[in-house]
């Protein structure tokens, strides 16, 4: 309840500031127009005040992190798992996870909704995206992070879809610290 009261108060303060700015701007425009009276004489010019509409944030799309925050979280997770960042598979995986966080239904058709757009973005084939992501997962196991991957999936090498959906789902639920 306090949040709604303070939110309403904040909106009123902002509207008052905007009204003052709008008023000053209208005065300056009018003064400028008055200075050109001989040019604009006989012309009907009206300066309208600025109107601002406040909308509260919708919580329908869940409280997803901003793109830059999301990318940072994904990067941190991939580094902790041991995905080598110098590979294209790392870039493909990061983009795929970002896409999946925004819309988990894309994982139902990985080929057309994930691999194809990423391949087009990097001017590669969808098959090279699949191989790149698989290679990145395998490289993480070979770099000594097999325990982390094994703890996450209860088996050695997860499928690309399984790996991407696991991380995306944890990020959507805000459980990145539990990966």
**46 Rama sector, left if φ>0, alpha if ψ -120 to 50, beta otherwise:** beta
pTM, two decimals, is 0.58
Q: Each residue's pLDDT tens digit in the chain (179 positions)?
A: 455 556 677 777 777 777 777 777 777 777 776 666 655 555 555 555 555 554 544 434 455 556 678 888 999 888 888 888 899 999 999 999 999 999 999 999 999 999 999 999 999 999 999 999 999 988 887 775 555 555 666 666 788 999 999 899 888 887 544 44
Question: How far is residue 29's CA from residue 50's CA, in Å, rounded to a whole number?
Answer: 13
pLDDT, residue 142, reads: 77
Q: What are phi and psi of 103, to 5 degrees?
A: -155, 100
pLDDT, residue 60, reads: 41
Tokens 């009907």 -> residue: 44
pLDDT, residue 6, reads: 64
Right CATH number for 67-178 from 1.10.8.50, 3.90.220.20, 1.10.3720.10, 1.10.10.10? 1.10.10.10
Asked if 171 and 97 count as a contact pair (C-beta separation under 8 A), the reply is yes
pLDDT, residue 152, reads: 64
């Amino acid at each position: 309840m306090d949040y709604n009261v303070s939110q309403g108060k904040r909106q009123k303060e902002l509207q008052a500031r905007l009204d003052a700015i709008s008023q000053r701007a209208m005065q300056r425009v009018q003064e400028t127009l008055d200075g050109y009276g001989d040019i604009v004489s006989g012309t009907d010019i009206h300066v309208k005040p600025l109107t601002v509409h406040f909308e509260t944030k919708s919580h329908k799309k869940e409280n997803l992190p901003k793109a830059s925050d999301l990318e940072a979280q994904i990067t941190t997770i991939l580094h902790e798992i041991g995905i080598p960042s110098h590979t294209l598979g790392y870039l493909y995986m990061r983009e795929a996870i970002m896409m999946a966080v925004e819309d988990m239904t894309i994982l139902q058709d990985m080929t057309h909704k994930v691999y194809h757009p990423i391949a087009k973005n990097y001017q590669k084939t969808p098959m090279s995206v699949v191989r790149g992501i698989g290679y990145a997962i395998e490289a993480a196991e070979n770099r000594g992070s097999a325990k982390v991957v094994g703890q996450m999936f209860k088996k050695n090498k997860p499928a690309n879809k399984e790996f991407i959906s696991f991380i995306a789902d944890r990020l959507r639920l805000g459980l990145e610290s539990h990966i």
